[in-house]
Amino acid sequence: MEVFKAVTAEYTAPDLIAQRSKVSGDINALLSSAEQKQKVAIAEAEASAVRATADGEADAQLKLATAKADAIKVQAAALAAGSKP
């Protein structure tokens, strides 16, 4: 409705009738432009969600690797302490 209102506001009543095909073309062009902007916004939101998921998974893997490394250090220290006379 907003696109229709915006386009028709640019014409006088007689021009709307006389230039019906031009008005129709203008409406279709503006709708296509709005649809393209909407598709871009959706794609950007989806990409952002994918990045956030990947960041979360990477952080979880880093924390797991750090915990494993710390466990190995504790085990190594325990073994070293146990082998001393």
42-73 pLDDT, tens digit each = 999 999 999 999 999 999 999 999 999 999 99
Helix (H) or strand (E) run with residue 29 in it: helix 20-83
Q: What confidence score (pLDDT) does residue 44 get?
A: 95
Helix (H) or strand (E) run with residue 82 in it: helix 20-83
Token pair, residue 9, equals 């506001």
Structure pTM? 0.55
